[in-house]
Amino acid sequence: MSTERTENAPAVGLSPDPQWWRQAAVYQIYPRSFADADGNGIGDLRGITERVPYLRELGVDAVWLSPFYPSDLADGGYDVADYRDVDPKIGTLEDFDAMVEALHAAGIRLIVDIVPNHTSDQHAWFQEALAAGPGSPARDRYIFRDGQGPDGAEPPADWTSIFGGPAWTRVQDGQWYLHSFAPEQPDLNWDNPEVRADFLTTLRFWSDRGVDGFRIDVAHGLAKDLPDQLPTQAQLDEMPIDGTHPLWDRDEVHEIYAEWRKVFDSYDPPRTAVAEAWVEADRRPAYASPKGLGQAFNFDLLSAHFDARSFEDIVSFNTDLAARSGSSSTWVLSNHDVVRHATRYGLPEVPGRTDKETGVAWILSGGTEPQLDAERGLRRARAATLFELALPGSAYLYQGEELGLHEVADIPDEDRQDPTFFRSPGVDKGRDGCRVPLPWTREGSSFGFGPDGAHLPQPQWFGRYAVEAEEADEDSTLSLYRRALAARRELQGAEELEWIETGDAQVLAFARPGGWVCVTNFSDQPVRLPEALAGEVVLGSAAASSSGTVPAEATLWLRH
């Protein structure tokens, strides 16, 4: 595998620009599935360090590292047992420092995941709360309640957790605790001053170790207001999520982030943050405000069909929204929670359903119904990615999408790990299919992921998508990403975008400063490039059969 530096790679060392995040290409690493250096079947930090040359050659500006903290892996690491350490299964703090050093030397920033809504049930605080008993200060760090009914054997409310099943679990002395996700993920009580203070310590701990930014998990869930008489699930479902809902997106959550901002701004350059907040679009700017986290994920493209009108509306709406918050836009097509976009786009459209929903239905059927057109899915994914990378703002890329990887749908039930599978139970196949360890070589043990197997089974077809195979192929998806990320560096001037009328509802075109034009043909037929757009083709997601045309379901980048 080539590790040489090419013209794609960023200059050595970090850019001094404190606004580096505004238009960054950020590569998400799900550490347990990226590269396994020690051979225990689980990806690790040394594995990442060894692959820094790969990341550099890919040309990304930053890495977002999903949780790497000590964890029993009830939810793939989003159940954190200690916020200021590394899981021994994947390394040590020294490995972490070495990884930061290698990334920074390669000009790549590091964003780490912070999971503040809940801890693991293995966290020292939760263990202490169990031992300390009802009414204790240790219980006050979480959300404990007495049950209903004469002996308290009924839960305090009939709430359903996001992963399915009840949201309240009973402990030995009879009390119940709230978990919005799995029972192994008790929700913290953010009215407790110790909880607040401890997360400030955590933010400083990682910032002091050189971390450049934070991705905030379930950022809209921390502030809660639970009355003595709890509403029912049906009543909760009826309540508007407008700042007053007892559980989600409460206005007071921003007081927490204002405190965090003071910590971020005490560093030079200021640490950045991006909110994972599934909220109404008009409530995103509050999370993205420079007085708060500074940026918020927008999952609109990820939730949409591969469709010209939807893409145009989403881009117009979100660029305006970001400008109003003082932040930059964010774009996401894939992450560790959804069916990979190459697969979503290869499934037949179902009226009234988004591609995301169709993808979920496909996973539910074990990848049989409806039929996947893998080639078409990849063709559209490449077009969507080039569209995304031409937009102003940050693009968040998920490991493996640069290889054009498809979802693995047919993981045997006994190998599945995702709590959504166990809690549905078995009905929702869950998110393991996008978390299968990456293929690095065409053949061999775990396709080069590590010396001794992989923690989720990899299908035979993974070899075709291996880094080794794609590096050798100019037309591969990896080669396309490398070229696009290199060219994108020249695009990163002003955050402006101007739509160009194409006269065809299936063709979108927009101009960026510096004479750049991006054209996407969403139809399944090639179209003539409108006269007004003629220019030098710098890059295409598919090869044009004749000059002056845009291939079917393809994006071209032109320069005038």
The span from the CA of 29 to the CA of 20, in Å, is 19
Among 34, 64, 181, 297, binds ligand NOJ (CB under 6 A): 181
The residue number with the shortest CB distance to ligand NOJ is: 78
The span from the CA of 99 to the CA of 107, in Å, is 12
Closest separation in Å from C-beta 176 to ligand NOJ: 20
Decide if residue 187 touches ligand NOJ (CB under 6 A). Answer: no
- Position 550, amino acid: V
Which residues are catalytic, by number? 217, 276
Among 217, 388, 401, 470, binds ligand NOJ (CB under 6 A): 217
CB 354 within 8 Å of CB 422? no
- Judged by CB, which is closer to ligand NOJ: 250, or 423? 423
Closest separation in Å from C-beta 299 to ligand NOJ: 11
Residues 105-134 that bind ligand NOJ (CB under 6 A): 115
**Per-residue x/- marks for ligand NOJ, 403-442, CB under 6 A?**
----------------------------------------
Decide if residue 337 touches ligand NOJ (CB under 6 A). Answer: yes
Closest separation in Å from C-beta 356 to ligand NOJ: 14
- Output b/e per residue, 393-422; b: 16+ Cβ within 10 A: bbbbbbbbbbbbbbbbbebeeeebbbbbbb
Q: What is the DSSP string of 91-123?
A: --HHHHHHHHHHHHHTT-EEEEEE--SB--TTS
Decide if residue 218 touches ligand NOJ (CB under 6 A). Answer: yes
Closest separation in Å from C-beta 67 to ligand NOJ: 9
Among 34, 68, 78, 190, binds ligand NOJ (CB under 6 A): 78
The span from the CA of 99 to the CA of 125, in Å, is 29
Closest separation in Å from C-beta 337 to ligand NOJ: 5
Decide if residue 27 touches ligand NOJ (CB under 6 A). Answer: no
The span from the CA of 552 to the CA of 540, in Å, is 11
Q: Please tell me the number of Cα atoms within 13 Å of 82 on its side-chain side.
A: 9
CB 495 within 8 Å of CB 393? yes
Decide if residue 72 touches ligand NOJ (CB under 6 A). Answer: no
Number of shown-chain residues binding ligand NOJ (CB under 6 A) = 9
- Position 315, amino acid: V
Among 38, 44, 57, 75, binds ligand NOJ (CB under 6 A): 75
Closest separation in Å from C-beta 256 to ligand NOJ: 17
Q: Which neighbouring-strand residues pair with 144?
A: 177
Query: Cα–Cα–Cα angle for 349, 25, 82, nearest 5°?
Result: 95
Give the interface with ligand NOJ as residue ranges (CB under 6 A): 75, 78, 115, 181, 217-218, 276, 336-337
